[in-house]
Amino acid sequence: MLKNCSGNGRCNGQTGECDCYEGYSGTSCSEGTGGGGGGGGGVCGRNSYGASCTEECDMLKNCSGNGRCNGQTGECDCYEGYSGTSCSEGTGGGGGGGGGVCGRNSYGASCTEECDMLKNCSGNGRCKRG
């Protein structure tokens, strides 16, 4: 079953449930916890950075769809299996169903369930490999 994480989380590669980003909680990551967000406490909201959180980092454009923008530095935090300033270099980590680890955007016992990054995580997360 595909799950919508309200753009505030990502689909877990093992369970298909939402793993919420900092500052959000709940089954669909729709509840703000006050722990992250719009510039208070030194932590910017999703894909923004800078002293007043007005600089924007486009995850798909700047991080090659293989990472997300760090809210403090504006640099890409690459997902497992990727490296480089724009997360465009594969490191060989993470993979395709062997050893209990599903490939990119899949989950489940036999890695046949699909987690669509854009649909489930509004382009702001990824299906977490387990």
Return the CA Rg of the chain: 15
110: burial class by Cβ within 10 Å (0-12, 13-18, 19+)? exposed
CA distance 61 to 51: 22
Share of the chain above pLDDT 90, in %: 0
Could you tell me how far CA 9 lies from the centroid of its own chain? Answer: 6
Q: In sequence order, what are the residues at sequence separation of 6 or more whose Cβ sits closer than 8 angstroms to the Cβ of residue 36?
A: 21, 22, 23, 24, 43, 45, 71
CA distance 107 to 94: 12
Residues 74-85 have pLDDT tens digits of 788 888 877 888
pTM of the model: 0.37
